[in-house]
Amino acid sequence: MIDIPDIYARAGRPVYSFEFFLPKAPDDLDSFVASVRELKSLHPDFVTLTYGAGGSARSRTVEAAGRLQRETGLTTACHLTCVGHSRAELSSILDRLQGLGVSHLVALRGDPPKDCSLPLGELKHADELVRLARAHGGFRLGVAAYPEKHPESASADDDLARFAGKMRAGADWAITQLFFDPADYFAFVARARAAGVTAPIVPGVMPATGYAQLKRFTALCGARVPDELDARLAAVQHDPARLADEGVAWAARQCRALLDGGAPGVHFYTLNRSDATARVLAALRRA
């Protein structure tokens, strides 16, 4: 297994990573692992698995991360959220991940639980989870960054202060929320560097494959859809093939601008589908 911070430091080339989410149905896990195994042909450097924060999905995420790494041979960073967990529960999860050989985490606050039976948890912010995992020992830690600020932050400066606090707490690298304008990424990175952040800040990119889906996602996370992209996608929103072509073309141009501008790689939000990501990667590798 690779060491993720080390590959960013030593690769000398763009580092590509894929994000997946846990299938809702437990019976779908076998086919999910098989599909990720097939994606090894795209040569991702590592993958991440989002955290199912409610009910049995919590334990299934941890076990699935272990299976992904063991059965695909791909270094797997398991997302972990602190809301809804006690310190003791989080320590137990960290122990279990280590027992499965998973040594990379993406440490997140997470959304407050919708299930009223779940407690809010003892840790309120991601920097506290980073400190807990760092004190536990044995983990390499990623965190989230928000080029256009977290939707709950009072201001861009407040959001930057929280981000810098996560890095000071011991995070090794950061992955951004999805965005569509490279200028937003570069402006955020410049402000983060001025605030003393030196670790890799990796842009997160989601090739648009559905217009209504894109609108829903961006409304939730506060990302801005540039007018040009919105117009291009709106014009073909009822033609899935043409919409995917537009989304892939935009993402490929976005990624090329990011890499040319010095981004250390690209983290692809795959939505558990490979076609759009494969097409963007093919375009980048041809260039």
Distinct helix (H) and strand (E) counts, the chain: 11, 8
Selection from 254, 259, 191, 190 nearest residue 225 by Cα = 254
Contact 274, 43 (CB under 8 A): no
Continuous H helices in the chain:
4-10, 29-38, 57-72, 87-99, 126-136, 156-169, 182-194, 211-221, 227-235, 240-260, 275-286
Within a 10 A sphere around the Cβ of 178, how many other Cβ atoms?
A: 20
Residues annotated as part of the active site: 19
Continuous H helices in 26-155:
29-38, 57-72, 87-99, 126-136
Selection from 92, 91, 108, 9 nearest residue 49 by Cα = 108
Which two structure tokens, joined as six digits, stand for 170? 């011991």
Residue 256: what residue type?
R
Q: Which residues pair with 145 in a beta bridge?
A: 176
